[in-house]
Structure 1
Amino acid sequence: MSIATHLTLARKLDSLCGLQTDIIALLGVIGDCPLLDCRLRDRAELHAVETRAQQALLQRHRRALGVAAALPPTDAAAGCPPVFARSGAWLISRWRQLELLEIRTYQTLVACVTHADMPDLLSGCASALDLQRALLEWLTPFAQPPGSQEDDFLAMQGAAHANHEPAGIVHP
C-alpha cells in the first residue's frame, strides 16, 4: 500500500472511530429517555452494541496501521440543552443525522479500502453499511410524521422538526 493510501486510510479510520464514539454516547441518552417509545429505546441499546462491535474492527485496523490511541470523544449532543431538557424529537433527529453521516463516512472509507489490501476491513465496512442503511430505514418513520417528505440533505444540515414531533414520542 502506498504511503498516501496508508495516511488517508488512517485518517478515515480515525474519523469514523470518533464519530462512532459520539453515536454510542447519544444512543446511551436515547436508551435512557423516558419520552421515547420503548421500541426506540430498545433499538438504541441494541445499536450501541452493534456500533461497539463495528468500532472494535476499525480499532484493530487502526492499530495494524500504527495509528495512535483514539482521539478523546466529542459531545454528540453539543449545542443542545441539558439531557433532561432535550426533546425526544431532537434526540431522534440527531440520531438520524449521525447515522446519515456515518453512512457517508463508511462510503468514503470503502472507496479508500478498495485500493488497500485489506479484505477483512472491506468486508466489515460493507456489512456495516448494510446495517446502517437498514437502521436508517427503520428509524425514518419515527423521525417524521406520516406523509412528510423530509429531505436527507436538510437533515444532514441539522434541520430540526420544529413544528411537529415524531410518531415515536410518548406524552405523559
Structure 2
Amino acid sequence: MKKQTLILLTLVFLVCFLSCSDKSNKYSSQFDQKIWLENSEVGNGLSQNPRVGMIDDLIENHLEKGMTKSEIIELLGKPYKDGIEFRLPANIKVPDSLDIISTVGKSKEIREEMLDHWNNWYAENSQPDTLMLYAAGWSLVDPNFLVVKLDDKEIAYDFWIEQH
C-alpha cells in the first residue's frame, strides 16, 4: 500500500511540475514589438509578463552595440527607468574586510560601523553609468529588468538582464 501511495504522489508531483513549467513557455520566444510595447508594467509577480520569453531573441537578434538611445526607444518604447546610477565596475572585487554577513549577531554599533565602512568604500569605488531599464518579467521573487548601458553620447554598448 505504501508503494502505491508513493507512486501516486510521484505522479501527482510530476503532473503539477510539468504543468507549472509549461506556463513559462506559453509566450513566444521570438521578439514581437507589438506584444513588448503592450506589456511595459513590472506587475506584481503573480502574472507572467510575455516579455520574459522574448529576452534572449531580443538581445541576440535585435539589440546591437552602437544603437542610439532614440533607436532603442523606437524599438522598445519608453524605459521603466532611465538615468544615471552609481555602480561598481564589473572587474572590482569587494574586500573580505567588508563582509556584511560577518556582522550577524554582532552589536548594533558594530553593524552600523561596518555599514558605514561599506558605504564609504562603495562611494569611493562606484562609477556613474547611464542606464535604461525595461521590465522583463519575474524570477521567483524579484522582477527582472533588461538593462541597456549607454556611453556619454547615448550610444548603447552593453545589454544584460538583472534582478531588482
Structure whose residues are more often helix by fraction: 1
Bigger relative contact order (CA 8 A; separation at least 6): 1
- Give the structure with higher Rg (CA): 2
TM range (shorter): under 0.3
**TM-score of the aligned structures, taking structure 1 as reference length:** 0.20
Structure whose residues are more often strand by fraction: 2
